[in-house]
Amino acid sequence: MSLHASISSLFTNSKSLILHHHHHHHSHTFTHSNFKPFFFFPFLSRTNQIHSSPIMALSNSDTARAPPPVPLPTPPLTKFKIGLCQLSVTPDKDRNIAHARNAIQEAATKGAKLVLLPEIWNSPYSNDSFPIYAEDIDAGGDASPSTAMLSQLSHNLKITIVGGSIPERSEGRLYNTCCVFGTDGKIKAKHRKIHLFDIDIPGKITFIESKTLSAGETPTIVDTEVGRIGIGICYDIRFPELAMIYAARGAHLLCYPGAFNMTTGPLHWELLQRARATDNQLYVATCSPARDAGSGYVAWGHSTLVGPFGEILATTEHEEAIIVAEIDYSILEQRRTNLPVTKQRRGDLYQLVDFQRLNSH
């Protein structure tokens, strides 16, 4: 089947195939080694497709996404508070878990219906530490005390938790993994960091995450009681294609737990958040660990909530902090009407392909 025919058939069935994997604990639908979850390329010549009536029924803007974009769903609520818990992290895992528990309870007391934790909040951020602190999330219970705590709290407090990330051990591999918990205490989604942090800026920062960690295989978007949320972890924020896929799947909010460093933090952390929010006209929330100047990896901090026009709605410096701020989804449609880029794309010139959705039909 040609790509165009695939798009046509998918469009006619879009209601039935949208994000059918939301409620699975694993989003690892495709396992071939060469599977790539997304790709961006200039659109192929359409001269031989000109008489294809299903394609002709789509606007240029719709065909700039394959499959065509999902309309923004009506969220389960319009306004709510989000809590960003910028936590200090120590080598004492039990302390880290107890500390996160207290922060989540405080955020909930302040009215947060959604709480976001930092990247690697239960362990020092180092290749030496990941294997030691890793947990078997699928086994749960005593094999994963960090997620057991998040499950218990989300249920007890009746809140949604985007549980930052922790090192995960699964089938002999290690992953940097974010779990999303619903108000029933169950894991609604699990995102394994797709883009590993392998960088080398001589004299500044060198870190090769792939020495110990394996990359995740799929984008992760999940319907929660506070809207449709796309998940990325730290380095994932550098890839606009992932955020574009989430937007095309109808995300209201993107959450990125992340620990940028003292080199890339001041340069790119805020810029990337504002870019992802502005490009896709949705909310972006990030959560970093607090800075510990004495640790092997020094985090930038500056956890932030950004609105759909790229405006900074709430942020903090590098110390420990709990930020509670309001999200108002009613402005998403308003912003998209004010500045209608979603209807102005040129599908005759370029296209973003979401292979997972395309292949899932």
Positions annotated as catalytic residues are 119, 193, 234
Contact 333, 308 (CB under 8 A): no
Reduced to 3 states (helix: H, G, I; strand: E, B; else coil), residue 84 is strand
Q: What distance in Å separates the CA atoms of residue 278 and residue 191, rounded to the nearest whole number?
A: 23
Contact 214, 174 (CB under 8 A): yes
Cβ-in-10-Å burial (0-12, 13-18, 19+) of 48 comes to exposed
Reduced to 3 states (helix: H, G, I; strand: E, B; else coil), residue 333 is helix
Cα distances from 179 to residues 1, 14, 117, 150, 257, in angstroms, run 36, 27, 10, 9, 11
Contact 221, 179 (CB under 8 A): no
Contact 310, 278 (CB under 8 A): yes
Contact 118, 85 (CB under 8 A): yes
Contact 315, 305 (CB under 8 A): yes
Cα distances from 154 to residues 44, 157, 179, 210, 265, in angstroms, run 47, 5, 12, 32, 30
Q: What distance in Å separates the CA atoms of residue 108 and residue 33, rounded to the nearest whole number?
A: 42
What is the maximal distance between C-alpha atoms in the chain? Answer: 65
Reduced to 3 states (helix: H, G, I; strand: E, B; else coil), residue 112 is strand
